[in-house]
Structure 1
Amino acid sequence: MTELRDAEQDAGRFRLRVWVVGALVLLAFALIAWRLYVLQVVRYEDLAEQAESNRTAVVPIVPMRGQILDRNGVVLATNYSAYTLEITPSRAIDVDATIEALSAIVDIQPRDKRRFKRLMDESRRFDSLPVRTRLTDEEVARFAAQRWRFPGVEVKARLFRSYPLGEAGSHVIGYIGRINQREKERIEDSDDAANYRGTDYIGKLGVEQSYEAQLHGQTGFELLETSAGGYAVRRLENHPATPGDTVILSIDIKLQKLIEDLYGERRGALVAIDPRNGEVLALVSKPTFDPNLFVDGIDQENWQQLNESINKPLLNRALRGTYPPGSTYKPFMALAALQLGKRDPKLVINDPGFYNFGGRTFRSHEGGLGGVDMTRAIQFSSNTYFYSLAVDMGVNAIHDFMAPLGFGQRTGIDLGGEVRGILPSTEWKRNAYKRADMKKWFPGETVSLGIGQGYNSFTMLQLAVAESVLANDGTRYRPHVAKAVKDQITGTVRPLEEPPGENLHFKEKNLAIVRNALAAVNEAGTGRRVFAGAPYTSAGKTGTAQAMSLGQNVKYNAKLLEEHQRDHSLFAAFAPLEHPRIAVALIVENAGFGAAAAAPIVRRVFDYWLAGQYPSEEDIAAVARGQASVPLGTPRRADEVALPAAQ
């Protein structure tokens, strides 16, 4: 009986095990079936896409960057194709050893290594970085034969930016440079991130930066079938890139280059505007720089020379340099007095050569000018007349009149980096200083404002805009350097829309008084020698502005001062008088009297623009040395003078 019960128990246990095992097997098959369902049905599209991506690759096609042309079609920025040797640090076994081994095949200079190291510091390790650019066909062939030795290294065909005229107009044109980490983050957060896939360079300054959207174009892509090793086997799809638009500027590059030559080695800025529409004809900042240095990534030596130079060649003085306007401010003070009813133009003020106010003596012409009315005060630049006028008007009235003319305001020019300058007022001073005793405006501080000194500090662009308002019957236009964009595919030229001019509602009789006084400056005043024999009528005002304060009753003597401490030379003018087509404002830093250094440059600008005359080489050299008034030698026809290409 005992043995029978044991057999039945064993059989029961066996059947239980069979059921358990069977249930586990069924569960396993159920799980497999469920997994197959998930893979084949639920995740089919996702997995199919992954499988496809394992055998295909989407490669962005970087668009060709648009050209930049001047108003006459001269090419200022273009592109060329060249081979570049690039390393992806994350894929290279040892970057330094790789570069040394590559040096035996391809010529890699120390400056190339320094540039590559700087790019590595600024980029991510999986970015492809150039170690040598502009490879010859022979160098490409040598590397291709030994490519298997260098994982993470490849030769790529790249488009490179070129600036054919070198330094000419560099501050206007700008340059492109490699996208840094901050710019990458900004692009990735923008709506245009997809359009910059594969793009390594972006506009950094000038038109290249301001018109990046038009110049960049639309990125295309290729869908490639790849092997297990990641090499392209065949092209499956091709969507070509759309090249960027050509940007056409209002700048006349021949005039721009002429002005830069007339400055020579001197520092300064000049802005020439068409007062009828706000087109900038020339925007000069001296010294200049060569934008081609930045195309491949500037090396440390050149960067130090540019960045540490006492002359600051990278500073756009026309937009960012602020200076006291000196006597070029006086015509606007006169217009303010007329508009506000502060002074009759026929009122005669005695100019004894000084002006006393609050126990302090302010200097004027040595020996004085005697009795002067408004016209003579402008014509012969009487300081005493305008000292007293500033006191009569007060700082706030001066501020409120000058602001609409553009002084101390951003003009809205289509270039980045413009500064406001300083147009003083009592409110400005309260906000500008922290100490309570410095916040108060003192009456004596108003005196120097009348002659463009004191706290006044403006850009040459602001002065040129104000001068164009005088020339254009009181209507102010927004200055702009770009005229139109040209579609590279259709060839269609589309003018860029500009806001309408703003009428400042000056009385015509008041404008006429100031304009006639400015004409008298060039006919028989401080500009008479420079404009003698000109084939057109012009109006202008010389200016000499202090670069530093000498203190009360200290007589100015340029020979006793360091070069950077000497007075600035300024001139603001427009021509022809009857129907002005050009307005100019310029400064030659630390060059002294305005009629001696600045006015001769304006005379050559007007000769070029209005008479089609290009100065002789002898004359250009004399002006650059500050040793010319009327043109020397025989002028050439402007249309017969060729532009030199960059070296």
Structure 2
Amino acid sequence: MDKKLLGIFAFIVLIILLAGCQEEPEEEATPDEAKAEETSQAEARAQQYIELWNNQGFSKMYGSFLNQGSKDVYGSQSFVAWQEEIYEQLGVSDVNVTYTPPEEAVDYTTDMPADFDIHVEMETMSGPIEFDQTLTLLYETHQEMEDWFVEWNPTYILPRLEMGDEVEVRLTEPKRGELVDRNDKPIAVNSDAMMVGVVPQNFDTPEQKEKLARALEIDVSEIEAAMNKSWVQPHYFVPIKQVPSSDQLTLDRVFAVPGTKQEPSAFREYPYGEALAHLSGYIGPITGEQLEKLEDQGYGPNDMIGRQGLERALEDRLRGKPGMQVIAHKAAAGAEPITLYENEAGEGEVIKLTIDAELQKSIFESMAGEPGASAAVDPETGETLALVSSPSYNPNEFVKGITGSRYQELNDAKNKPLYNRFAASYSPGSAIKPVTAAIGLETGAIDPEEGVNIEGKRWQLNGSWGGFHITRLHDDVENPVDLHKALVYSDNIYFAQKGLDIGREDMIEGFKDFGFTEDIPFVLNLQPSQITNNGSLGSDGQTADTAYGQGQMLVNILHLAAMYEPLLNGGTMYEASIFLEEDEPTVWKENLVSDDHAELLQTAMRSAITDGYAKSANIGEVAIAGKTGTAELKMRTGDAGKEHGYFVGYDSENPDAIIAMMIEGIEDESNGSDYVAGKVAGVLKAHKE
């Protein structure tokens, strides 16, 4: 072959090979595929914008998503700052904007707006605001970037809002809910009152101030402080103190003072006063610290808020939702303002408690101002019938703000009336012995038929205890001493020995089965009961001491009352409920004691009254059963030699209420804890009637 022809042939083959190695050109997208790409791009931009909206990312929404026309008309100040300001005014805590794609595909093309139906919902200080809107996107070129951008206007903030509108939010304070007892007796209620005040131009002599101070039982300095506030003008009404309308005597005294004035006002009233104060708590003026935390929930500087007790614990349920009116004031001269949104205030709940207010009052009065605590529970349901701290204070004094001098007086009072004793825990002494007995019976460490020979008033296991002895009050109990006698005559030595028989581990587990070391399930914070400071029993001496409620054992009074429930109801201890609305009692602990063992303990607790040393509870009208206790305070500085007296009792023929009571400092009482038993007996008698 000719060399020239051979070269041409080789060149042709090379061209063919190179052509075979090249990638095939992409096929052009069909019109339908191009539309699908545009559709997904428009939806993706809408979804990205909605996500930023839900997170209130206004700056990024403006910078990356707003179309040029919207930016030119409204600017960053209106879009970002205005929305943030309005959201703050409304107390917006949550924004939820949703978009549901249409069931059938929509053709979005770059030469037409892309519309998306959205639903806007936001949680505000007075409840949710929601509305429907259309989110419109336009396809534009921004700095050589082509994409979809939002065409925005102020109706995206609130319907009918226009540029230049000044938004005002008016709040209506809700009617506060009330607390009533199981029989609908008022515990914390709204009532009428008169705000007593003065008009300075008519009230300017020392004599007037002194007379008004006496009538209101306040200091003249408090009147002068009110009159010297910066906003006061000579013709203004200056409020001094709120007086319930029912206190006509005080109002008559005030009316007799020239220059005074009275204006109707709402009043939070606590009809049972001191008897229920630590439980009900009270409302008072909101503090600066509280306002800082709660301002976005619609609280203002002049609002009242729950400050103690159930008023504080149930604030959300009692307060209700404030009403809100959102008004747009138009920029144009003479234009009428329009209401953009309005809802009525939602009243707080009326909460019905398990408390029997008359029983509570009876217990409080029986304690006669002596320092102590008491609780009453229904053994079949765990309902809290009473929860008392003594001495106490009048919660009505706190409603409009107690004076500094009066608060200091209460704070410095000898027996600390502001201190809530039912929330604390104390050494229970012999009142815990029925629980120890139940633990011993269930573990088999105590045989109720077996007696123990005990001689004298003092005992120790062996010489290793040094000078530490277990002592008992009565050494005239006939031997042998069995469980029945030990409970009737409250024999510390018997229970110390049986505590050692139970053993450290079983003792700890047994008390834990009764709720020791656990948080007490209750609406208010109560100090848990403890076995020892570190939860373990480090020696035989500590084990023996703990078995009869001494050592480092501490018990809350409500928990103590609850621990007697399984001894009466078949072995169950309920969570302490306080809301009557709860349908079924909630079991806290179960299978704590068998029926046979419970019957033994019930018999012994009745004999403790008829044959033992709780003679003050042995009254003819009620067949009372129960257990006394005397706790010797040895550990705390300044408490050496002091004793707290206990009695836990119930009507053995109709055990619808277990009452546990503790009185501090009974060491000077000749009959010791029997003194407390007499108080409980009087309450149970009145309760039966």
1:391 to 500, 503, 506: 500
Distance 1:274 1:184 in 2: 40
The answer to whether 1:599 aligns with 2:677 is yes
Give 1:334-349 correspondences, 5 Å limit.
334-349=437-452
2:590 to 500, 503, 506: 503
Tell me the CA shift for residue 115 of structure 1.
8.4
Distance 2:264 2:173 in 1: 11
Question: What amino acid is aligned across from residue 390 of structure 2 in structure 1?
Answer: K
Distance 1:34 1:402 in 2: 71
Summarize deviations over 1:379-399 as a string: whole Å, max 9, x none: 111111011112222333222
The equivalent residue for 1:480 is 577
* Structure 1 pair 227–421 and aligned structure 2 pair: CA distance change class (3 A): same
Distance 2:193 2:627 in 1: 51
* Structure 1 pair 443–589 and aligned structure 2 pair: CA distance change class (3 A): same
Summarize deviations over 1:99-153 as a string: whole Å, max 9, x none: 9999759979522566899999xxxxxxxxx964549999xxx999xxxxxxxxx
The equivalent residue for 2:516 is 407
1:330 to 433, 436, 441: 433
1:319 to 423, 427, 443: 423
Aligned 8 A contact 2:616 2:674 in 1 = no
2:316 to 213, 216, 219: 213
Aligned 8 A contact 1:177 1:297 in 2 = yes
Give 1:42-61 correspondences, 5 Å limit.
45=154, 49=161, 53-54=165-166, 57-61=168-172
Aligned 8 A contact 1:59 1:221 in 2 = yes
* Structure 1 pair 102–234 and aligned structure 2 pair: CA distance change class (3 A): farther
The equivalent residue for 2:648 is 572
3-state DSSP of counterpart to 2:305: strand
Aligned 8 A contact 1:324 1:545 in 2 = yes
Give 1:615-626 correspondences, 5 Å limit.
none
Question: What amino acid is aligned across from residue 288 of structure 2 in structure 1?
Answer: Q
- RMSD over aligned Cα atoms: 4.2
Tell me the CA shift for residue 419 of structure 1.
0.8
The equivalent residue for 2:348 is 244
The answer to whether 1:369 aligns with 2:477 is yes
Question: What amino acid is aligned across from residue 159 of structure 1 in structure 2?
Answer: A
Summarize deviations over 1:547-582 as a string: whole Å, max 9, x none: 33699xxxxxxxxxx9994311111122235x5211
The equivalent residue for 1:78 is 189
Question: What amino acid is aligned across from residue 391 of structure 1 in structure 2?
Answer: L
Summarize deviations over 1:385-442 as a string: whole Å, max 9, x none: 0111122223332221112223343321222x311132128x536xxxxxxxxxx923
1:166 to 260, 268, 273: 273
Question: What amino acid is aligned across from residue 583 of structure 1 in structure 2?
Answer: I
3-state DSSP of counterpart to 1:569: strand
The answer to whether 1:447 aligns with 2:544 is yes
Larger Rg: 2
* Structure 1 pair 316–176 and aligned structure 2 pair: CA distance change class (3 A): same
Q: Which has the higher contact order (CA 8 A, sep 6+)?
A: 1
The equivalent residue for 2:624 is 538
Distance 2:491 2:608 in 1: 12
Distance 2:70 2:294 in 1: 44
The equivalent residue for 2:604 is 517
The equivalent residue for 2:285 is 178
Summarize deviations over 1:38-83 as a string: whole Å, max 9, x none: 57997752898476643x6321000010111112111121224568
Structure 2, unpaired ranges of 5+: 1-68, 79-149, 214-219, 232-237, 244-250
Tell me the CA shift for residue 448 of structure 1.
1.2
Distance 1:68 1:185 in 2: 27
Question: What amino acid is aligned across from residue 608 of structure 1 in structure 2?
Answer: A
Aligned 8 A contact 2:566 2:592 in 1 = no
3-state DSSP of counterpart to 2:177: coil
Aligned 8 A contact 1:521 1:527 in 2 = yes
Give 1:182-197 correspondences, 5 Å limit.
182-188=289-295, 193-196=296-299
Summarize deviations over 1:597-642 as a string: whole Å, max 9, x none: 2101111222122x31xxxxxxxxxxxxxxxxxxxxxxxxxxxxxx
The equivalent residue for 1:267 is 371
Distance 2:439 2:397 in 1: 47
> For structure 1, which segment, 469-478 or 591-600, has the greater mean C-alpha deviation from structure 2 after superposition?
591-600
TM-score by length of 2: 0.65
The equivalent residue for 2:664 is 589
* Structure 1 pair 103–235 and aligned structure 2 pair: CA distance change class (3 A): farther
Distance 1:116 1:413 in 2: 45
TM-score by length of 1: 0.69
3-state DSSP of counterpart to 2:647: strand
Distance 1:112 1:219 in 2: 32
3-state DSSP of counterpart to 2:389: strand
Count of residues paired in the alignment: 505
Tell me the CA shift for residue 333 of structure 1.
1.2
* Structure 1 pair 576–235 and aligned structure 2 pair: CA distance change class (3 A): farther
Distance 2:441 2:473 in 1: 24
Structure 1, unpaired ranges of 5+: 1-32, 87-98, 121-129, 145-154, 430-439, 485-494, 552-561, 613-647
1:547 to 609, 630, 633: 633
The equivalent residue for 1:637 is none
Distance 1:114 1:398 in 2: 61
* Structure 1 pair 249–180 and aligned structure 2 pair: CA distance change class (3 A): same
Percent identical = 26
Aligned 8 A contact 2:643 2:665 in 1 = yes
The equivalent residue for 2:52 is none
* Structure 1 pair 266–134 and aligned structure 2 pair: CA distance change class (3 A): closer
2:404 to 297, 300, 313: 300
Aligned 8 A contact 1:405 1:465 in 2 = no
3-state DSSP of counterpart to 1:483: coil
